[in-house]
């Protein structure tokens, strides 16, 4: 059984890491972009951000003044047990979020949508979001915190199957242009695309593609993997760079996740992880071991499973 105190302690450590330490995969991608960027203002922004990341790590301060909206992804091995149960787990994550908001500190961004009530701790109704996944084996729990910018770097459109790949590209470019021209997202970013599912699942797929996949990872479907490479190049061909200035590095990487959908439609969502790409991961074992990493390793074969063993029912012989 995994002690609840260990879960909360680990969660608070993760909140600190996500706010301060940029993941190595994204940092490598950003450094490569800085070496190839030739737009004056875009180059200036990339240089300033890389210097800021070093200063944040050295001073143990949040890397960005807008610390986003903390959220949690929890993955459990099938045999995992938590002291106090899952409600205790959620209470620990909410308390860790509140403590970290005061301790790191983080900006208390969460407010009631109507009354603008702010508890000054990033905790409220439905906040922080906690999403779950499961794996067939193991007694461990993975805690993943993501501090994503919470405003406008997201879009959705219901396409028709006849729109095809060209329609997907068109909406992808429309979204990137809007993100850059209107200042709706901070670039360069990891772009996540969700294809299929119902509207809510489509949005979830795109969000998870942007925040739960590392730079350089590729979808296990080779045809989708080719699309990811193509869309990365396409996104960097529109003449925009860092923060929407003239340049050629708007997309650090493009990740695509899919889900089966209604035969009459092709839902699509586009999500931009922010310029800071804040995420941190730890696996907790019943014996008290805690292993920290930056790769969420969310999209396993089990998460992408397509069908189930079954036999169609046959009419009884007359």
Domain co-membership, 188 together with 69: no
Domain hosting 109: range is: 4-17+63-149+279-317
Q: Per the domain annotation, does 33 fall within a domain?
A: no
Domain co-membership, 163 together with 266: yes
Q: Per the domain annotation, does 23 fall within a domain?
A: no
Q: Per the domain annotation, does 24 fall within a domain?
A: no
Check if the beta carbon of residue 173 is closer than 8 Å to that of residue 251. Answer: no
Question: According to the model, what pLDDT value does residue 274 have?
Answer: 84
In the chain, the number of structural domains is 2
Mean pLDDT by 10 residues, the chain (318 residues): 98 97 94 94 95 94 92 98 98 98 95 96 97 97 91 90 97 95 90 97 97 97 98 96 94 97 97 91 98 96 90 65
Question: According to the model, what pLDDT value does residue 311 have?
Answer: 82
Domain co-membership, 161 together with 226: yes
Question: According to the model, what pLDDT value does residue 315 have?
Answer: 62
Question: According to the model, what pLDDT value does residue 312 have?
Answer: 80
Domain co-membership, 217 together with 251: yes
Domain co-membership, 158 together with 266: yes
Q: Per the domain annotation, does 26 fall within a domain?
A: no
Domain co-membership, 138 together with 258: no
Domain co-membership, 145 together with 243: no
Domain co-membership, 50 together with 190: yes
Domain co-membership, 134 together with 165: no
Domain co-membership, 8 together with 104: yes
pTM comes to: 0.94
- C-alpha 158 chain-centroid distance: 22
Question: According to the model, what pLDDT value does residue 164 have?
Answer: 96
DSSP calls for 200-240: HHHHHHHHHHHHSS-TT---SSHHHHHHHHHHHHHHTTSSB
């Amino acid at each position: 059984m995994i002690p609840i105190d260990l879960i909360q302690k680990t969660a608070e450590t993760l909140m600190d890491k996500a706010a301060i330490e940029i993941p190595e995969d994204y940092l490598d991608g950003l450094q490569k972009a800085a070496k190839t960027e030739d737009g004056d203002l875009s180059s200036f922004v990339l240089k300033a951000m890389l210097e800021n990341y070093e200063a944040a790590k050295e001073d143990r301060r949040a890397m960005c003044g807008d610390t986003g909206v903390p959220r949690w992804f929890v993955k459990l091995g099938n045999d995992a047990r938590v002291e106090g149960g899952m409600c205790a787990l959620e209470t620990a994550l909410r308390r860790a979020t509140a403590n970290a908001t005061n301790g790191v500190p983080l900006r208390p961004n969460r407010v009631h949508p109507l009354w603008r009530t702010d508890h000054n701790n990033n905790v409220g109704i439905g906040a922080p979001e906690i999403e779950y996944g499961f794996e067939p084996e193991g007694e461990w729990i993975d805690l993943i915190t993501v501090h994503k910018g919470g405003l406008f770097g997201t879009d959705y459109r219901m396409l028709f199957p006849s729109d095809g790949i060209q329609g997907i590209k068109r909406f992808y470019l429309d979204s990137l242009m809007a993100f850059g021209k209107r200042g709706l997202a901070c670039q360069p970013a990891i772009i996540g695309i969700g294809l299929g599912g119902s509207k809510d699942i489509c949005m979830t797929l795109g969000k998870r593609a942007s925040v739960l996949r590392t730079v350089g990872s590729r979808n296990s479907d080779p045809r989708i993997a080719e699309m990811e490479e193509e869309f990365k190049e396409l996104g960097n061909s529109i003449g925009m760079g860092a923060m929407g200035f003239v340049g050629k590095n708007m997309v650090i990487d493009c990740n695509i996740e899919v889900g089966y959908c209604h035969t009459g439609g092709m839902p699509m969502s586009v999500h931009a992880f922010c310029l800071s790409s804040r995420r941190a991961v730890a696996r907790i074992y019943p014996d008290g071991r805690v292993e920290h990493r930056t790769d969420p390793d969310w999209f396993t074969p089990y998460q992408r499973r397509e069908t189930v063993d079954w036999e169609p029912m046959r009419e009884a012989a007359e």
